[in-house]
């Protein structure tokens, strides 16, 4: 049994800000002491550039950097050479769009995304389609925030109206960063491959990997992308996992240092994956720090994290509806099993920024706005929402603080 009340003491930010109620882990997570210590360890003990140094501290830095690649590979059940370090999830998706998308997409081909995508998994495909003259198809959602992919009668996943032989790419989010919907990714992938075995499937897992077990072999996607900073690791590191045979065929993304095999005046040959995609000096300290984040996640256990967040989400929804019935509208699935620890809502006719500012006065950090999902808000017919999200360091006290904060919001803004 994990004592989630004690977990807070692992996060030094609460020592400096003892009253902080942090409900914005969907944007970025807080970092445990062990991750911060690892950054300091690199800078103070073996600060050196990796790979080409033939001296001890460079070798040590290289070893730690490559050890993180192994740790990530084990964490998602992948091969080491399939794990590429980028800057963030956005860059990982752009890399795929550039290095593979431009290579395989032709005029009138189809690229499929959903209306619940974060801009990072929407805009690169929208731009690519319009540049090449491909068709961007968008999977809609139903009233509860589930993808509209089920047969009306059998309630089974039916992609025959969406995916065709012309579909080259399906890019989907695992968990919506607004609705909290956990998409049935494994079933969707299986069903998509049945219709079109050649389809390339990219899963934006930025909101999934920090919270639920993601096994790339089990899911059978072609690419899985996520960010270090949302899983308690340092900022500045994104992860791109891809099937080796695809990575081998792809163009490099950035050209320059580190990614080359040989450069002559006439031509250049490139390294193999993953190094082909890691041009220039990477975020060395941050990658190394990420190894500690994975260790921390494994120590608590993803199953425990999932249950903890489920418990908090369920209680929060119940309390919000008890206290503000008729004034609050919560988006996303009603079935708690189908959602992550994300609650987006509108409150009376108050503006999300006003709500967030007043909550901030009470030391409650929530996000307000469109959360980089403008097409989704357009679909929902609203300008913006307030979003509260949970992670390991949240507890039931935070829920009550949020309720008190929202009561204050109502007192101040009611007309």
Chain positions contacting another protein, by CB under 8 A? 351-354, 357-358, 361, 368-370, 374, 377, 383-384, 412-413, 415
Task: Kindly write down the DSSP assignment for every residue of 188-213, as one continuous string.
Answer: HHHHHHHH-TT-EEEEE-TTTTTTS-
Which of 48, 372, 403, 413 is catalytic? The answer is 372
Secondary structure element (H or E) that encloses residue 224, with its range? strand 223-227
- Crossing angle, helix 56-75 and helix 33-45, to 10 degrees? 150
Least separation, in Å, of the C-beta of 103 and another protein? 32
CB under 8 Å to 278, separation ≥6 — which residues? 84, 85, 258, 259
Q: Return the closest-CA partner of residue 233 out of 88, 395, 66, 58.
A: 88
Min CB(25)–another protein separation in Å: 19
What does each C-alpha distance from 82 to 199, 212, 223, 311 come to in angstroms? Answer: 19, 21, 10, 35
Residue 168 annotated as catalytic: no
Rounded least distance, CB 344 to another protein, Å? 14
CB of 229 closer than 8 Å to CB of 28: yes
CB atoms within 10 A of CB 129: 21
| DSSP result, 171-190 | EEESB-TTT-BB--HHHHHH
Least separation, in Å, of the C-beta of 92 and another protein?
Answer: 24
* 52 contacts 394 by C-beta, under 8 angstroms: no
Instruction: Please state the closest distance from residue 351 (CB atom) to another protein, in A.
Output: 4
Least Å distance, CB 357 to another protein, is: 6
Q: Where are the alpha helices (DSSP H) in 86-243?
A: 89-96, 102-104, 123-132, 185-195, 216-219
Count the neighbouring beta carbons within 10 Å of the beta carbon of residue 231.
Answer: 24
Q: Which residues are catalytic?
A: 372
């Amino acid at each position: 049994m994990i004592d989630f009340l004690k977990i807070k003491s692992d996060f030094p930010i609460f020592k400096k800000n003892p009253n902080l109620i942090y409900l914005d882990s969907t944007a970025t997570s807080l970092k445990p002491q062990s991750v911060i210590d690892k950054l300091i360890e690199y800078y103070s003990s073996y600060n050196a550039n990796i790979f080409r140094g033939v001296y001890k501290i460079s070798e040590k830095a290289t070893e730690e950097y490559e050890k993180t690649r192994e740790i990530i590979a084990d964490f998602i059940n992948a091969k080491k050479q399939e794990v590429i370090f980028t800057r963030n999830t956005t860059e990982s998706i752009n890399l795929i769009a550039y290095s593979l998308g431009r290579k395989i997409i032709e005029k009138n081909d189809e690229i499929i995304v959903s209306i619940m995508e974060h801009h990072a998994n929407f805009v690169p495909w929208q731009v690519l389609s319009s540049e090449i003259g491909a068709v961007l198809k968008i999977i809609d959602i139903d009233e509860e925030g589930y993808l509209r992919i089920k047969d009306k009668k059998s309630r089974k996943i039916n992609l025959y109206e969406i995916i065709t032989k012309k579909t080259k790419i399906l890019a989907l989010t695992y968990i919506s960063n607004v609705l909290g919907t956990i998409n049935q990714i494994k079933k969707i992938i299986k069903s998509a491959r049945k219709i079109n075995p050649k389809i390339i499937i990219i899963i934006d897992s930025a909101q999934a990997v920090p919270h639920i077990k993601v096994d790339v072999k089990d899911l059978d996607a072609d690419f899985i992308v996520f960010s270090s900073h949302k899983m308690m690791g340092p900022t500045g590191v994104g992860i791109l996992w891809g099937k080796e045979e695809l990575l081998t065929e792809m163009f490099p993304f950035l050209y320059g240092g580190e990614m080359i095999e040989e450069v002559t005046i006439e031509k250049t040959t490139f390294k193999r994956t993953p190094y082909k995609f890691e041009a220039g000096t990477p975020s060395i300290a941050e990658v190394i720090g990420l190894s500690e984040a994975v260790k921390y996640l494994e120590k608590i256990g993803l199953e425990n994290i999932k249950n903890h967040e489920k418990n908090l989400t369920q209680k929060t929804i119940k309390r919000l509806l008890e206290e503000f019935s008729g004034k609050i509208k919560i988006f996303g699935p009603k079935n708690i099993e189908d959602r992550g620890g994300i609650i987006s809502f509108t409150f009376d006719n108050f503006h999300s920024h006003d709500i967030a500012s007043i909550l901030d006065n009470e030391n409650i950090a929530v996000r307000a706005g469109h959360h980089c999902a403008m097409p989704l808000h357009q679909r929902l017919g609203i300008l913006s929402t307030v979003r509260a999200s949970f992670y390991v360091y949240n507890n039931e006290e935070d829920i009550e603080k949020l309720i008190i904060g929202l009561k204050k919001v109502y007192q101040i803004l009611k007309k």
